[in-house]
Amino acid sequence: MSENTNSNALLKNGLGLPKKVGIIYSDVKREYFPTEAQYITEKEALHDAQVIATYLEKLEIKPNLYPGNEELSEKLRKDKPDVVMNLVGSVKGNEYLASTIPGVLEILDIPYTGAGILGESLAYNKFLVKKLLQQNGVPVPYYQLFNTASDFLDPTLRFPLISKLNEIHGAVEITEDAVSENEKHLRERLKFLITTYEQPVLVEEFIVGREITAILLEGLNKKVYFGEKVFKESDSIFKFATFESQWSDNVQTYSYQKYEDNLLKEYIKKAFEITRMADYGKFDVRIDSSGRYYFIDSNSNPAFGPKELDVAMSNILDLYGITFEEILKRLLLNTMRDAQGKEKLSPIPKKV
């Protein structure tokens, strides 16, 4: 079933697009963030929300924009939007506080897009997500969580190892220096990351090979779309999407091409349920030389917007001829349908 057919079916079932939609975006101030790198991942939040608002207007929907701050509940109570699009990635610079936004919306009984409280809370603990996936048979690299730079290093971990901030997404600090080939370098990285960001660091085996980004969209059914990253030639064997390649206008180290595999689709759908996502989600997967899959990252409420905002979702769905207008319609219709209680897509409640 195509995306157009999917949305048309929802419309024929008596569901209409909402008349008034709120867009909640991150309230961004430089002083909220410990580094310029983390600030860069959020600084365009208002601009991105304004771009999305223009697409809502094309659908004859009135958009209202709200920063995710202490005035949010009062403004929502006053305006009473039919649906809210939750685009918040952090509150006061803390990504884990993004889970408070669904809480506000639940209290006000306003339907909203994206993951609920539990799904958003899980997303900002990469170690816990790894545990959940591993316990449920979804393949992940071997990994270890470090609370201090001097923690004991599990001798079963094999170098090269890549270190990641446990509670921050957006590829923050995923630089060329993120991969360690020896313990001395790893300890230096751990000291820097833990001291700078005051949070644990997830260390995992770096999987040399290819990388796939998967997007799952919910509707009458779950559809999975893949984009394989095609990296430019380089001397390094450690080909991966760095912070610079994702956030610099002057650096583009990879493009996307279609990829298909039914086994990976089933893994993605399973991971989506395990991590309590809703409406849409994004997963990054590495493939080693033997063709084995390893889930390396997951994002509830990933960057959302049309292709001109250069987000993974629209870039990948564009490979399949799916427009942002259609993504937007499907997302809103799916949220309206769930709000009216006409159908549950899974035995797991959508918003927890």
Q: Is the pLDDT of residue 1 over 80?
A: no
pLDDT of residue 271: 98
Q: Which CATH number fits domain 142-205: 2.60.40, 3.40.1350, 3.30.1490, 2.30.130?
A: 3.30.1490
pLDDT of residue 265: 98
pLDDT of residue 210: 95
Distance CA 273, CA 294 (A): 17
Q: How many CB atoms lie within 10 A of CB 54?
A: 10
Q: Write down the residue that tokens 């395990």 correspond to.
A: 274
Q: Is the pLDDT of residue 351 over 80?
A: no
- Rounded to an integer, the average pLDDT of 305-324 is 95
For residue range 217-247, what is the model confidence (pLDDT) as tens digits?
998 789 999 999 998 877 677 889 888 888 8
As a whole-number percent, the residues of the chain with pLDDT over 70 amount to 91
- Rounded to an integer, the average pLDDT of 124-140 is 97
253 against 94, higher pLDDT:
94
For residue range 14-35, what is the model confidence (pLDDT) as tens digits?
568 999 999 999 999 999 999 9
Q: How many CB atoms lie within 10 A of CB 70?
A: 10
Superfamily of domain 210-339: ATP-grasp fold, B domain (3.30.470.20)
Give the CATH architecture of domain 3-118. 3-Layer(aba) Sandwich (3.40)
68 against 347, higher pLDDT:
68
Burial of 112 (0-12, 13-18, 19+ CB in 10 A): buried
Integer-rounded Cα Rg, in Å, for the chain is 20
Q: Tell me whether strands 62-67 and 20-25 are parallel, antiparallel or unpaired.
A: parallel
pTM (2 decimals)? 0.91
Q: Domain extents for the chain?
A: 3-118, 142-205, 210-339
For residue range 268-292, what is the model confidence (pLDDT) as tens digits?
999 999 999 999 999 999 999 999 9
Q: Write down the residue that tokens 């590829």 correspond to.
A: 171
Structure tokens at 213: 């980004």
